[in-house]
Amino acid sequence: MVRNPASALRKYLLGGRIGNSGCLFDRSKDVISHHRIHHGARTLQTDADHAQPDTAIPFRKQLKEEARKRKAELKESAKTKNRSLEQWELTVGIEIHAQLNTARKLFSSASSTFDAAPNTQVAYFDLALPGSQPIFQKETLIPALRAAIALNCRIQKTSKFDRKHYFHWDQPAGYQITQYYEPFAKDGHISLYPHDGIAKEDGDEVRIGIKQVQMEQDTAKTTTTLGDVHLLDFNRAGLPLIEIITQPQIHHPQTAAALVRKIQILLNSVDACVLGMQSGGLRADVNVSVRKRDDVGKGFEYGDVQGLGKRTEIKNLSSFKAVEDAIIAERDRQIALIEGGGFVEGETRGWNIGNPGTVRLRGKEGEVDYRYMPDPDIAPIVISDDLLDHVQNTLGVLPEEEIRLLVADYGVTTKDAMSLVSLDNGYRVEYFRNVVDHLVALTSRDVSAGSSKPQNASDEAVSQTLKLGRLANNWVLHELGGLISSEEHNKLDFTPEGLCQQISHEELATLIHYIETKRVTGRAAKRILVDLFANATEGTKVSLDELINSHGLWFTPLASEEYAAIAMRVFDEKVAQEILDGKEGKINYLVGNMIRLAEDGKVDPVEATQAMRKAIETFKASRG
Amino acid sequence: MRVPTKRQAAHRGAYQILAYTCKRQARYYSSVPNVVFEGPSPEKHEPLNDYSGPENGDTLNAYISAGKEELYPIHRTYYAVKNNIIFKIDPTTCGSAILQDYMSPFYATIATRFGRIYGLPLRTTNMDEFGMGSHSTNSHFGAVQNVPPYEKYSAGGSSGGSAVAVAAGPFKMALGTDTGGSVRLPAAYTGIVGFKPSYGFVSRFGVIPYANSLDTVGVLARTVAGVAESRLFHGYDAKDPTHATVEARTRMNANLANSDVCPLDIHDLGGRQHLKIGIPLEYNIAEMDSVVRQAWQETLEKLQSEGHTIVPVSLPNTKHALSAYYILAAAEAASNLSKYDGVRYGNRSSASDGAGDVLYSKTRGELFGEETKRRILLGSYTLSSSAIDNYFIKAQKIRRLVQRDFDRVFILNNPLRPSDEQFDLTDMDENVEMADKLGPSRVDFIICPTAPTLSPKLEEVVSQSPVESYMNDVFTVPASLAGLPAISVPFRLSSEDHETGAPPYVGIQVIGQYSDDWRVLAAGRVIEKLLGCTKHSQALRCCNANSQAPFYVTGPSSHHDYPPTEDFAIPVQKVQCDFDAKMRT
């Protein structure tokens, strides 16, 4: 993952309006000069700024104004942009690199552990020592096959490895071993739906072709650069990657980001890859071209698509947002260039957070001829049908199906199901299932203890799972999510089996069960959850029941007289009159006041509403 | 109800199946040993630690001393090794300035094997830089000279240093590498025996590659028996992905046992085996010296008089083999040599890595020799996107045709290919007689000269154009392209045949089918016996060869344990006696 210098981030966040001094309110000289330079092109609008640079405009107010101004500008430019976008069609193809989830490197038995001390996980071959030879680690095939099958690819019976030559200090052999001539998987596709976050224009479904999936080696990592000296860590050199190359069939930046996100979810769900995109395990290159919509039948051919405009490639994008923003920036650049009478050159460009546009890295003349050569030391890889069958049969449920099941059987909304599936490498959804399982068990135990003859048991179980699932989702997704802050130590650790270190699924299920059975109120439960989490992060383990005991948060139902008393205390004649006049919703305001007035979580909203209604009735009667 | 569990426990089963299918597939791909499930299992692996961490500058040295295996030689024997096989007694220089001080952290597989049997070698020997040359003149450490009194003549290359080490007397044998004739040619020029095994029969792990798909480790000795007893062949080495697996060898042996070839045992040549010997008509080229042709003729006549059958055969693609070889070898060399940038090991230019137009151009420009640079450029060109179709791909096709040429003349089927392959007869030389309507008669071996000329003068070599010097390899390259075993046996010229002053040897080459190594050695012995004259009689010629011997690699020699000097004065005569005794048993 690219680390952005603070200065770049600053520029990106507030259009460069934060000074270097660090204090927001210190409008010292260099801030002003900065300001002036920034607005040089728009003197007319910023005359006021110049007139009174020293009178302190409240910073917040200034920000608001700036934001408003920017929004207006954006709207204006969006209008013109939309006009030109109607004439232009954008075409995008993506190459995604993902690190395979394996114990060893692709051609050596060195461990693929990351976070190890630099240069400790290195075999002779990883350093390209003379006389060392590549030994293909067959185990790397399995996650690669899982990925390719999940992407609906045709698996090639025989595939081969080739050398791609170029000099770079992170490439010890002077070539990268990859699959250029005969990749192991070809001709796949992936379907995207509105819930994946595709652009509106793409309708209900868009299908993107996968040209090929190939296995290849990762490079060494340049850890530090001290002037002219680069320090290299070869732990990463030789790690197995897959590169997924899509057909140029994407026409909207938003869809491109959705595709990358979906591929990441897919790779996680079939256990093919190690890390998510945000942590550097996934990197994307995009190629972008534009053409006039009426210009069909001319132009270039890329992949299986003909008649495209000249394309440029943007390398090394490491977040979904970067994919989307870079494509937008490059599209606009190309359209402006052609409309201005120029033409697009086939070149490689870069994009960084904070830059308004893409930057030229090297042109066609700077392109390397990779001199692809079959590696004479590595035999063809032959994949048999029984291996393929086995991988296919043990692949499990793909996210698309899993989302469908979550919606149908657990009553979760599609949006929440998406989040569940994509969070924590897919471990969160396992946790969720564990919570629901436990919750169902607790509930049915109560039920069987209460009534002896369950009627139509299976129907009941289904509807119960639906109800409990919906409830549990709220807690697993939103309440747990609320606990985590961006700080390092504030995190929840989930295991692939869906266990959580900080808050076990039994605890959460029991807590939800207490709410269901009115032993604690929802409000109290939230507080308990926060305490539970705080205890866990500090390492002091207090059981759930003890915790509730110690805070005295058990819900003891108030007597109806008590409710009446509370209702009287918050009673407001004016509001009561409004309610009587038909503004029924206003009652919630009063009930809310009741809840707030009482001790933590003692007031049950339903009871409180009843008490309030009674009070209003009495009020009505007294007036009537 | 619950969604079926994913990603749990599924893996183990998959790995088992993987192992199983890979094993099954190995049957069809003998040259594909790495799909057989062997090698370290995840649990056993010990990570290779602390190799090049900046704060651990000394660990490489610690590694070397720790990694030095205890070697208990079974038969202490004096032998030399070409300096591209990692033995760790000297820097493994490959005759290059870029590796002048390079001490590898590991031994070659063949080094460990030879070390256990014979002890460490006494010398590493000079060679053409990375094996690129035919006269051992392209070395950073100076040109190798032939054995006195022929110092002005070429010793052949690229294993010239190894050949001289044996021919001059002090060493019983030497290891060399043969990519396109690098063992056979020096053997021919120095009058000794040089053997190149089938590709993939000797592990290349720790042998610094020139062209991986052609490189083999070979042996030079004074007699065929010396080669045969060198114990060159060894068990399967999982560290070399191109090493023939146990399964593959079993299949090859079965193929040999089931064939119609006449059994030939190097230890028992008493019986009257009648071999069928092929003479490739395409090898009778105009550039061949008349003395060489005469020696070839004489050898054949002697064989015929012994009752062996001589038949003409056709290898129609021979004429393209040389060009194909120089395209493929250069392409692989250019690729292999990309790793020498001076960053992780090897010498480095004093200029910055980024100086010049391209990264590392100073280091590589300053430290590679002229011939090496020429071949890197050649290889880079033939692999470039605009040229690959016309050069590299075509050369690969020719290589396959050359292999097919051999397959259809040998009685023994090639165990790497289906046996029922049909051959087209239309492109065959019209002088070839048909044995029946299926084609010409098939043969046990092909016999031809090793080189078209006698050893040239070194000064002529210098004035030769690169292409002229490439011509030397015309008879050795086809066997390399096809991966076949071949041996060069010396034919000593009588003084009336020979007036030029050049070393009076012609190499007679025996080429056999893939995997037929032992019979090739036996056939070499048959010829050796027929020709009568071997180095036995001349071995004493220059006992004192270790004084100013030009074949040694110059370089630091203080840090390793050579045996004391008195030990080094080898009683050559005694060695000879041992030999004869062994031959009788």
Closest Cα in chain A, distance from residue B359 (Å): 7
Residue A57 in 3-state DSSP? coil
Q: What is the pLDDT of residue A595?
A: 79
Q: What is the pLDDT of residue B2?
A: 38
Task: Count other C-beta atoms under 10 Å from residue B153's C-beta.
Answer: 25
- Radius of gyration of the CA atoms of chain B, in A: 24
Token readout for B59 is 């660990």
Calculate the CA B91 to chain-centre distance: 21
B50 contacts in chain A (CB < 8 Å)? 119-120
Q: What is the pLDDT of residue A309?
A: 82
Residue B82: active-site member? yes
B238–A130 C-beta distance less than 8 A: no
Of A129, A228, A382, which has the smallest distance from its Cβ to B25's Cβ?
A382
Mutation target among A106, A162, A166, A387 for the B interface, most CBs of B within 10 A:
A387
B42–A103 C-beta distance less than 8 A: yes
Of A124, A141, A163, which has the smallest distance from its Cβ to B18's Cβ?
A141
Closest Cα in chain B, distance from residue A402 (Å): 8
Rounded Cα distance, B77 and A240, in Å: 45
Q: Could you tell me if residue B9 is inside a domain?
A: no
B99–A390 C-beta distance less than 8 A: no
Beta strands at B276-280 and B309-313: parallel, antiparallel or unpaired: parallel
Q: How confident is the model at residue A5 (pLDDT cuts 50, 70, 90)?
A: very low
Single out the catalytic residue among B96, B104, B182, B203.
Answer: B182
Closest Cα in chain A, distance from residue B393 (Å): 10
Mutation target among A108, A135, A223, A403 for the B interface, most CBs of B within 10 A:
A135
B2–A369 C-beta distance less than 8 A: no
Residue B106 or A293, more confident: B106
Closest Cα in chain B, distance from residue A128 (Å): 7
A377 contacts in chain B (CB < 8 Å)? 212, 241-242
Token readout for A97 is 């690199």
Q: Could you tell me if residue B12 is inside a domain?
A: no
Of B17, B47, B104, which has the smallest distance from its Cβ to A130's Cβ?
B104
φ, ψ for residue A225, nearest 5 deg? -125, 115
Closest Cα in chain B, distance from residue A291 (Å): 28
Q: Which residue from B minimizes the CA distance to A366?
A: B358
A133 contacts in chain B (CB < 8 Å)? 204-205, 239-242
Q: What letter represents residue B304's amino acid?
A: Q
A368 contacts in chain B (CB < 8 Å)? none
pLDDT over threshold 70, residue A30? no
Q: What letter represents residue A60's amino acid?
A: R
Task: Count other C-beta atoms under 10 Å from residue A450's C-beta.
Answer: 7
Residue with tokens 């959460």: A508
Task: Count other C-beta atoms under 10 Å from residue B429's C-beta.
Answer: 14
Rounded Cα distance, A231 and B450, in Å: 51
Single out the catalytic residue among B82, B172, B196, B276.
Answer: B82
Q: Could you tell me if residue B20 is inside a domain?
A: no
Q: What letter represents residue B435's amino acid?
A: A
Mutation target among B3, B5, B7 for the A interface, most CBs of A within 10 A:
B7
Of A118, A119, A387, which has the smallest distance from its Cβ to B18's Cβ?
A387
List the beta bridge partners of residue B443: B410
Residue B49 in 3-state DSSP? coil
DSSP letters for A256-276: HHHHHHHHHHHHHHTT-BSS-
A123–B338 C-beta distance less than 8 A: no
Among A52-56, A232-236, B288-292, B319-323, the minimum mean pLDDT is found in A52-56
ipTM over 0.85: no
Residue B518 or A397, more confident: B518
B384–A369 C-beta distance less than 8 A: yes
Of A129, A373, A391, which has the smallest distance from its Cβ to B104's Cβ?
A129
- Establish whether the linkage from the previous residue to B158 is cis, with ω within 30° of 0: yes
Rounded Cα distance, B363 and B350, in Å: 8
Closest Cα in chain B, distance from residue A346 (Å): 17
φ, ψ for residue A284, nearest 5 deg? -130, 140
A271 contacts in chain B (CB < 8 Å)? 6-7
Mean per-residue pLDDT over chain A, rounded: 79
A110–B4 C-beta distance less than 8 A: no
pLDDT over threshold 90, residue A577? no
What are the counts of helices (DSSP H) followed by strands (DSSP E) for chain A? Answer: 20, 18
Q: Which residue from B minimizes the CA distance to A102?
A: B42
Let me know: does B182 contact B194? Beta carbons within 8 Å: no
Of B37, B106, B341, which has the smallest distance from its Cβ to A124's Cβ?
B106
Q: How confident is the model at residue A531 (pLDDT cuts 50, 70, 90)?
A: confident
Closest Cα in chain B, distance from residue A9 (Å): 30
Of B10, B21, B380, which has the smallest distance from its Cβ to A371's Cβ?
B380
Nearest to B208 by CA among B133, B325, B141, B108: B108
Q: Which residue from B minimizes the CA distance to A273?
A: B7
Q: Which residue from A minimizes the CA distance to B37?
A: A138
Among A3-17, A138-152, B36-50, B528-542, the minimum mean pLDDT is found in B36-50
A371–B343 C-beta distance less than 8 A: no
List the beta bridge partners of residue B436: B439
Q: Angle B318-336/B370-383 helices, nearest 10 degrees?
A: 100
Total of domains in chain B: 1
A384–B21 C-beta distance less than 8 A: yes
Rounded Cα distance, B390 and A212, in Å: 27
Q: What is the pLDDT of residue B453?
A: 92
Residue B123 or A364, more confident: B123
Name the residue range of residue B78's domain: 74-585
Closest Cα in chain B, distance from residue A567 (Å): 45
Taking the domains of chain A in order of start, what are their residue ranges?
A: 10-84, 85-374, 399-551, 560-623
Spell out the per-residue pLDDT of chain B, length 585, in tens.
333 343 333 333 333 333 333 333 322 222 222 222 222 233 332 322 222 222 222 322 333 333 333 334 556 678 889 999 998 777 899 999 999 889 888 889 998 888 878 887 777 889 999 999 999 999 998 888 898 888 899 999 899 999 998 988 778 899 999 999 999 999 999 999 999 999 999 999 999 999 999 999 999 999 999 999 888 988 889 999 999 999 999 999 898 888 888 778 787 776 667 899 999 988 998 889 999 999 999 999 999 998 899 999 989 898 899 999 999 999 999 999 999 998 889 988 888 887 777 888 899 999 999 999 999 999 999 999 999 999 999 999 999 999 999 998 999 999 988 766 666 666 666 666 676 666 778 899 999 999 999 999 999 998 888 888 888 899 999 999 999 999 999 999 887 666 678 899 999 999 999 999 999 999 999 999 998 754 443 433 333 333 333 344 433 333 333 333 222 222 222 223 333 333 333
Single out the catalytic residue among B30, B104, B154, B158.
Answer: B158
Q: What is the pLDDT of residue A490?
A: 62
Let me know: does B180 contact B443? Beta carbons within 8 Å: no
Per cent of chain A over pLDDT 90 is 20
Longest CA–CA separation in chain B, Å: 99
B339 contacts in chain A (CB < 8 Å)? 128, 130, 172-174
Longest CA–CA separation in chain A, Å: 103
Calculate the CA A482 to chain-centre distance: 16
Nearest to A521 by CA among A616, A584, A594: A594
Cα end-to-end span (Å), chain A: 72
Q: Which residue from B minimizes the CA distance to A113?
A: B47
B102–A110 C-beta distance less than 8 A: no
Token readout for A67 is 């934001």
Torsion, CA A303, CA A306, CA A311, CA A313, rounded to 10:
-10
Of A134, A377, A402, which has the smallest distance from its Cβ to B3's Cβ?
A402
Q: What is the CATH number of the domain that holds B124?
A: 3.90.1300.10
Give the DSSP H/E element, type plus range, for residue B125. strand B123-125
Let me know: does B369 contact B337? Beta carbons within 8 Å: no
3-state secondary structure B486-544: EEEEEEECCCCCCCCCCCCEEEEEEECCCCCHHHHHHHHHHHHHHHCCCHHHCHHHHHH
DSSP letters for A131-182: T------GGGHHHHHHHHHHTTPEEPSEE--EEEE---TT-TTSEEEE-SSS
